[in-house]
Amino acid sequence: DIVMTQSPDSLAVSLGERATISCKSSQSVLYSSNNKNYLAWYQHKPGQPPQLLISWASTRESGVPDRFSGSGSGTDFTLTISSLQAEDVAVYSCQQYYSTPPTFGQGTKVEIK
Amino acid sequence: QLQLQESGPGLVKPSETLSLTCTVSGGSISSSSCYWGLIRQPPGKGLEWIGSIYYSGGFYYNPSLKSRVTISLDTSKNQFSLRLSSVTAADTAVYYCATTTIAAAGTLFWYFDLWGRGTLVTVSS
């Protein structure tokens, strides 16, 4: 199985500041035939269903604010919240779907400083 | 609007079978557009995909759980269900229902675009 490792486990950021989360995979999730990275990001707020934010490493889902962006390729990926809002307090998880079984990172908790 | 709702026992004894149901509302479980799946999160750990099933009965299971897992459909109730046998404390987790939409040309990419709120199942005597 592909192991997904996120860092940090938690971070506290001031409102309006940038939050950056790293996700590394134990092997490349870039499919050479279509040049796509099989990497998704999720947001999970307490008491709410987890929400798919980004697929294909950088494609935002419909309705996701543009302050959320995904980047990276191969084995190293980043989720950036450009200007943290109070409603962004949540746990963020990355997930690879390059191979079965799909596997997730351990999650990163984002809080307000 | 499609929604998923988990219902489960809350508490299961070690060595017994965990049974959990996902009820689909706002759409039909007989839809050919997605797979219906289950994912869990043990306390303090990351998410783990358990398996997914298609309306026709086709399924995929996580090899790490395959020997103990059965996922089934009940189209009359618009539900799908998980049975996990021989549970131990390691099976204590929040269990989520989730969908995987089938892409164009029938291609399947295993990310999860709709989730339920989850239900906590504790394994303890």
Q: What does the pLDDT average to over A47-76?
A: 97
Per-residue model confidence (pLDDT) at position A46 = 87
CB-based contact, B111 to chain A, within 8 Å: yes
Q: What does the pLDDT average to over A65-87?
A: 98
CB-based contact, B66 to chain A, within 8 Å: no
Counting residues of chain B whose pLDDT is more than 90, the rounded percentage is: 90
Counting residues of chain B whose pLDDT is more than 70, the rounded percentage is: 100
Tokens representing residue A69 in the block: 């962006």
Q: What does the pLDDT average to over A26-38?
A: 97
CB B89 within 8 A of CB B22: no
pLDDT at B109 over 90: yes
> What DSSP designation does B75 have?
T
Q: What does the pLDDT average to over B70-90?
A: 96
pLDDT at B57 over 90: no
pLDDT at A80 over 90: yes
Residue A40 has its nearest CB partner, among B4, B48, B111, at B111
B105: pLDDT confidence band, cut at 50, 70 and 90? Answer: confident
Per-residue model confidence (pLDDT) at position B104 = 82
CB A2 within 8 A of CB A26: yes
For residue A7, CA distances in Å to A97, A111, B9, B31 come to 20, 14, 35, 38
Nearest to B82 by CA among B21, B25, B36: B21
Per-residue model confidence (pLDDT) at position B106 = 80
Beta pairing class for B59-61 and B48-53:
antiparallel
Which residues of A are less than 8 Å from B52 in CB distance?
none
CB contact under 8 A, A102 and B114: no
Which residues of A are less than 8 Å from B62 in CB distance?
101
